[in-house]
């Protein structure tokens, strides 16, 4: 279907935020052909308050808690803090293997502790956990699959069924007591921990404040986001591997890292109308991917690279063969040209175009606590539409888009939501679906909780 730049408001100004969606976005609003169903017309209905005070969901949906920060694992270890990005991989008998990031610095409440052979830098506190979940949504095993990395934020899945976990830092050896440089991507195998020994950073993919990646399963090109929150603005990158689609370990063979240049668009925040499209995209070679003396985004390019504030979530749209990424918000006082409360962009490699699909904007005068803001982690629903995890102020939600492009609320966190002045990191993160589409998994960042949610996904609300 084509929305032909149609625009609408999913919420009135009185509700606190206008969400404008436009574009020819078949991948967002069409069901996965293998499932043979289509998503909701106007969402799944109002949320039902959870008697347990943990997670509000629509009628018919239910959650299972798979993992909690501080719990004792079956192997005797303690579940680390700060649950963030996550990938889901098919396991036997309709089960799932989850690889979950821990965005831990050395000062985290519970650091990641891995066996020495799966530890990159003993001074660092981040890493990943692998959880084995049966089809009954019961977690039967959990262990640390990578340790000694720093501030593992999000990442992405590869076509060969591994997880790329991203360090959101530029700290070098000697900072915070680290013994090695950080700011890299690491590959984690969810099935074979023997492949996770002697972890090596994928240095050719750059050393910067990585957030997420999306891999083109047809070319092997990896798209990378940079969540830079100090000047200059972060950017959107692509990595051209020397061994595309070569399987586990192939990214270690190196390649070329390039940064985005959109002609006459130095800052994504100036685009305020959903549906605006830009052509003539160029990709500029990064002079020094290791950022030896200057951050990757601050280096001397032959043309200005296009930046954006807090470029975070990324996802590959298999149906339309496009890469999606998010700018969570932008503020003038933080170095952006314009203010917004979230953008979702789509890069089309075949047409070589960049298009703004969704924008969150506050009414005038701006409310201090908008109902929805700051989309972060994203994933495509197997039933059509984009699912977005909020990382803003006030209440924290998972939002979805309908077949008509409308934005709806799917879930609301009730644990440690804090206040606008002190949000306490109650954000939701790591949204992903099981291979059969029956279960959605996601996390609460703090205190760390991993949920499995099931229900009538193909129900149509009229």
pLDDT at 461: 59
Specify if 230 maps to a domain. Answer: no
Identify the CA nearest to 347 among candidates 432, 445, 426, 268.
268
pLDDT tier, 103 (very low <50, low <70, confident <90, very high otherwise)? very high
Rounded to an integer, the average pLDDT of 318-331 is 90
Return the closest-CA partner of residue 82 out of 355, 426, 396.
426
Domain membership flag for residue 378: yes
Tell me phi and psi for residue 430, to 5 degrees.
70, 25
- The neighbour count for residue 318, using CB atoms within 10 Å, is 13
Structure confidence by residue, pLDDT tens digits, 376-400: 788 988 887 788 898 766 788 898 8
Residue 281 domain-assigned (yes or no): no
Backbone phi and psi for residue 193, each to the nearest 5 degrees, phi listed first: -70, -15
pLDDT interval class at 264 (50, 70, 90): very high
Is residue 244 in some structural domain? no
Split into its structural domains, the chain has a count of: 1
User: Which candidate, 244, 224, 114, places its Cα nearest to that of 165?
Assistant: 224
pLDDT recorded at residue 382: 87
Reply yes or no on whether the pLDDT at 357 is more than 80: yes
3-state SS, residue 133: strand
Instruction: Tell me whether residue 100 is in a domain.
Output: no
Report the pLDDT value the prediction gives residue 15, as an integer from 0 to 100: 36
Residue 298 lies in a domain: no
The pLDDT-based confidence of 6 (bands split at 50, 70, 90) is: very low
- Residues 267 and 306: beta-carbon distance below 8 Å: yes
Predicted pLDDT at 75: 86
Q: Who's near 393: CB < 8 A, 6+ residues apart?
A: 369, 370, 373, 374, 420, 423
Percent of the chain with pLDDT over 90: 68
For CA atoms 303, 306, 312, 313, give the dihedral sign: negative
Q: Provide the sign of the torsion angle of the four alpha carbons 423, 424, 427, 429, taken in this order.
A: positive
Q: Is residue 43 part of a domain?
A: yes
Q: DSSP H helical segments within 125-277, as ranges?
A: none
Length of the chain: 462
Residue 457 lies in a domain: yes
pLDDT (mean) for 195-223: 98
Q: Give the residue, 143 or 390, on which the prediction is more confident.
A: 143
Q: What is the mean predicted confidence (pLDDT) over 200-205?
A: 98
Structural domain of 460? 15-69+374-462
Each residue of 55-100: pLDDT tens digit?
999 999 999 999 999 999 988 999 999 999 999 999 999 999 999 9
Q: Cβ neighbours of residue 106 under 8 Å, at least 6 residues apart?
A: 123, 124, 125, 176, 177
């Amino acid at each position: 279907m084509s929305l032909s730049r149609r625009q609408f408001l999913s919420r009135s100004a009185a509700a606190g935020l206008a969400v404008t969606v436009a574009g020819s976005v078949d991948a967002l609003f069409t069901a996965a052909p293998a499932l043979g169903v289509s998503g909701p017309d106007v969402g799944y209905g109002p949320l039902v308050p959870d008697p347990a005070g943990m997670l509000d969901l629509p009628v018919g949906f239910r959650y299972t808690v798979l993992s909690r920060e501080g719990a004792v694992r079956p192997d005797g270890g303690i579940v680390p803090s700060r649950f963030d990005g996550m990938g889901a991989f098919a396991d036997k008998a309709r089960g799932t293997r989850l690889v979950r990031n821990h965005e831990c610095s050395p000062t985290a409440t519970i650091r990641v502790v891995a066996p020495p052979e799966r530890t990159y830098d003993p001074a660092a506190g981040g890493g990943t956990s692998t959880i084995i979940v049966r089809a009954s949504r019961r977690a039967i095993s959990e262990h640390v699959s990578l340790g000694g990395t720093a501030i593992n934020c999000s990442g992405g899945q590869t076509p060969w069924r591994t997880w790329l976990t991203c360090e959101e830092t530029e700290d070098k050896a000697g900072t915070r007591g680290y013994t090695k440089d950080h700011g890299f991507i690491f590959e984690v195998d969810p099935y074979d921990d023997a492949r996770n020994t002697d972890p090596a950073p994928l240095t050719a993919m750059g050393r910067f404040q990585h957030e997420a990646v999306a891999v083109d399963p047809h070319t092997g090109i990896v798209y990378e986001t940079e969540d830079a929150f100090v000047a200059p603005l972060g950017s959107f990158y692509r990595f051209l591997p020397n061994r595309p689609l070569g399987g586990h370990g192939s990214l270690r063979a190196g390649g070329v890292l390039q940064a985005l240049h959109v002609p006459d668009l130095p800052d994504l925040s100036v685009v305020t109308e959903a549906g605006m499209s830009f052509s003539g995209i160029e990709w500029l070679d990064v002079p020094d991917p290791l950022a030896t003396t200057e951050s990757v985004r601050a280096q001397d390019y032959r043309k200005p690279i296009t930046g954006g504030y807090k470029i975070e979530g990324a996802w590959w749209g298999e149906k339309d063969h496009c890469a999606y990424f998010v700018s969570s918000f932008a503020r003038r006082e933080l170095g952006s040209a314009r203010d917004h409360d979230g953008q979702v962009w789509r890069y089309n490699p075949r047409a070589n175009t960049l298009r703004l699909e969704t924008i969150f904007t506050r009414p005038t005068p701006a409310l201090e606590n908008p109902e929805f803001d700051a989309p972060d982690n994203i994933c495509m629903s197997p039933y059509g539409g984009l699912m977005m995890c909020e990382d803003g102020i006030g209440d924290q939600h998972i939002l979805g888009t309908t077949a008509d492009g409308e934005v709806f609320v799917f879930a609301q966190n009730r644990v440690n939501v804090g206040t606008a002045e002190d949000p306490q990191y109650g954000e939701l993160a790591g949204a992903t679906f099981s291979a059969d589409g029956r279960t959605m998994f996601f996390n609460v960042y703090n205190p760390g909780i991993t949920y499995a949610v099931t229900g009538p996904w193909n129900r149509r609300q009229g």
